[in-house]
Amino acid sequence: MRLEYFLMVDRVVAFDGETIAAESTVPDASPVFEGHFPGHPLVPGVLLVETMAQAAGWLVLGRNGLTAMPFLASVKEAKFRRFVGPGARLAITARLTHDGSGYAVAATRIESGGQRLCDAEIMLRISPFPAPELEAAMRQRAAQIGLPGVVGLAGPSDLLGQAGQSAAATPPVAAGPTAPASAPEPAAVAAAGASARPAPAADGALEGLA
């Protein structure tokens, strides 16, 4: 997990087409903690939402075989139950509750040590990939995190992974789904999409997987 580059999902541990389970470890140090907060580092709630959105986004991408990109459309009923600090090991799950008419909705949550940290309903808007570079990046990232069915695909760059490598030179575009200088994760990308909120119906790959 690299907070400053919106690389929120480290690996997929289970996927059955209807649900996805992923894991991530919060870094011990990050520029994000310098301001949030001095002496009391905490993962911002918006990045926890991004993490859930990205998990939902990977669920959608796994279902459609990476043929279309999920972008974050809305977040409902988000609840934050506990603080999340450096070194926390996160278990992220997303369960599909709707898929149709260009939108997908998922019930998502993050737990750590058996305790629920947060949950939300994520809506994603599913659209054709706007650029071949984005599709290639998502395919590579999918292989890196172990999304079933894509491991071994030759894909050019990874939104998340690449973001982490090349982003050093370019800061991520946190806002939108989008992504860091290098490509973002679904959620991150989704986020961007989310910013431009589509009519209700929704997305999330979560935004691109956020």
Asked if 49 contacts 183 with a C-beta cutoff of 8 angstroms, the reply is: no
Q: Which residues of the chain form beta strands (DSSP E)?
A: 11-15, 19-25, 69-80, 89-100, 103-112, 115-127, 208-209
Rounding to the nearest 10 degrees, give the CA dihedral for residues 116, 15, 147, 86.
10
The CA–CA distances, whole Å, from 113 to 55, 84, 88 equal: 19, 12, 9
At residue 64, the 3 state secondary structure works out as: helix
Q: What residue type is 15 in one-letter code?
A: F
Per-residue tokens: 12: 């997929």
What's the CA gap between 71 and 185, in Å, rounded? 10
From the candidates 23, 36, 102, 165, give the one annotated as an active-site residue. Answer: 36
36 is an active site residue: yes
**Residues marked as catalytic:** 36
